[in-house]
Amino acid sequence: MSKVDVLLGLQWGDEGKGKIVDVLTPDYDVIARFQGGPNAGHTLEFNGIKHVLHIIPSGIFHKQKLNIIGNGVLIEPAIFSDEVDALRQKGVEPTDNLYISKKAHLILPSHRLLDAANEQAKGNAKIGSTLKGIGPAYTDKIARTGIRVGDILEFDFREKYQLLKYQHIQLARTLNFDIDAFRINDMSLDEYEVRWMESLEILRKFKLINSEYFINRCLSEGKRVLAEGAQGSMLDIDFGSYPFVTSSSTITAGVCSGLGVAPSAIGRVMGITKAYCTRVGAGPFPTELFDATGRRLCELGHEYGATTGRSRRCGWIDIPALRYACMLNGVTDLIVTKPDVMNDFDEIKMCTDYIINDRETDEIPFEFNEVEIKPKLKVFSGWKCSLASAAKFDELPVQLTDYLHDIESRTGVRIMAVSISPDRKDVLFR
């Protein structure tokens, strides 16, 4: 019986999960997404090609490896269909090695309408949602009114769809939302619905399965399974900076419910962190930099959302948040990405503790959104050189390894790999 290894983000998303999953895929037989949906944007680069995946797992470019969209994921059929087209244009045929859980829930066009209506109703308190319908679709799942992938095979699918859509429209009206002015990709709700319905045909061509049985069978046959997280631990519905979070369980616990595997079947938990920190959308970010250094991180790190194109807020690494994420996830191995972005920096800073009302703490307070948090910063010397010549972890400049060792000692987790460019080939394993 083998175990499910997990790879997930420890910050506010965009840590480089897609790249690292692609790099680790040769070591596994099955790659499975367990939560989130098209709010995710996972970037892969190899042979000069850049590719962004939203719903499809990042193992898809390895033909002989199986990819699974688990029951915990949300599928928006039109976005899924675009993703399939984009893969086909690159010569990848995903129907061969992508299976989809019948229990995964669908995002309807009217979920996207509601996402926009909710955000508008929140005014200044808006979350900065990706507007892909994530919150409303998970709301329907929990309210037991959602529609699942398996339902598209049933005779009463249209009836279920119309009923749910009707409820959404009523709700959007009570929020005083201008439904006629609403657009998705320049299409009205009705126009987009036509495209959405057509996309169901693409979905029907895939193998729709009871993925919990499939994955557990794989484990009993000794196959190696890697669960790919989306978003990050600080966006988790329970432990993130609520309400500035996403609507799913982004932590290791989500793997059990999102794939149907027992806690005892979880193996290694690989947690990814950038060497600094970013956040897209609203909500607390104690180490955020509003100065030229923040702008440099954004420019040099190309910190623009892979899904929405929004510029990401940037700041120093946040150890209290990282320690929290390691605790919640049971992280066994750390992976650090993007130190190369700071190659020219004279100094690199690390937030070791929070100062709240003149008191030092390394705990995330319940009042995370309300209190003023000052980061206590430790300063490191920059390495001031390119990392491109390093072929092994031990060949990294000493200033960088000092910084990395400090992260290890403060989190209590060993760093297993460091990524030094967007490309597949640039990961230094230890």
Catalytic residue numbers? Answer: 14, 42
CB of 338 to ligand GDP, least distance (A): 4
Dihedral pair phi/psi, residue 142, rounded to 5°: -70, -30
Strands 359-361 and 347-356, sheet pairing: antiparallel
Which residues neighbour 427 within 8 Å (Cβ) at sequence distance 6 or greater?
Answer: 19, 20, 23, 417, 418, 419, 420
For residue 19, the Cα-to-chain-centroid distance in whole angstroms is 12
The residue within the footprint of ligand IMO, chosen from 41, 59, 146, 284 (CB under 6 A), is: 41
- Residue 39 binding target from ligand GDP, Mg ion, ligand IMO, none, CB below 5 to 8 Å by type: ligand IMO
- Residue 338 binding target from ligand GDP, ligand IMO, Mg ion, none, CB below 5 to 8 Å by type: ligand GDP
Biggest distance spanned by C-alpha atoms of the chain: 65
Q: Count Cβ neighbours within 10 Å for each residue of 113-136 and write b for 16 or more, e otherwise.
A: bbbbbbbeeeeeeebebbbbbbbb
Residue 231 structure tokens: 């978003």
By CB atoms closer than 10 A (0-12, 13-18, 19+), residue 212 is middle
Measure Cα distances from 391 to 33, 397, 419 in Å: 31, 12, 11
> Of 11-19, 31-39, 314-322, 371-379, which segment contacts ligand GDP by CB under 6 A?
11-19
Q: What is the DSSP letter of 304?
A: B
Binding pattern to ligand IMO, positions 188-227, x when CB under 6 A?
A: ----------------------------------------
> Of 79-87, 228-236, 336-344, 392-400, which segment contacts ligand IMO by CB under 6 A?
228-236
Per CB under 6 A, 129 contacts ligand IMO: yes
Quick one: which H or E segment has residue 375?
Answer: strand 374-381
The residue within the footprint of ligand IMO, chosen from 246, 287, 329, 337 (CB under 6 A), is: 246
The residue within the footprint of ligand GDP, chosen from 6, 12, 18, 30 (CB under 6 A), is: 18
- Start-end of H helices in 221-300: 252-259, 292-300
Per CB under 6 A, 104 contacts ligand IMO: no
- Residue 281 binding target from Mg ion, ligand IMO, ligand GDP, none, CB below 5 to 8 Å by type: ligand IMO
Q: Which of residues 1-20 bind ligand IMO (CB under 6 A)?
A: 9, 12-14
- Residue 337 binding target from ligand GDP, ligand IMO, Mg ion, none, CB below 5 to 8 Å by type: ligand GDP
The residue within the footprint of Mg ion, chosen from 5, 14, 228, 353 (CB under 5 A), is: 14
Nearer to ligand IMO, 77 or 232 (CB): 232
- Asked if omega into 422 is within 30° of 0 (cis), the reply is no
How many whole angstroms separate alpha carbon 324 and alpha carbon 11? 10
Binding site residues, ligand GDP, CB under 6 A: 9, 13-19, 40-43, 45, 302, 306, 337-338, 340-341, 419-422
Contact residues toward ligand IMO (CB under 6 A) are 9, 12-14, 36, 39-42, 127-130, 132, 134-135, 230-232, 235, 246, 280-281, 306
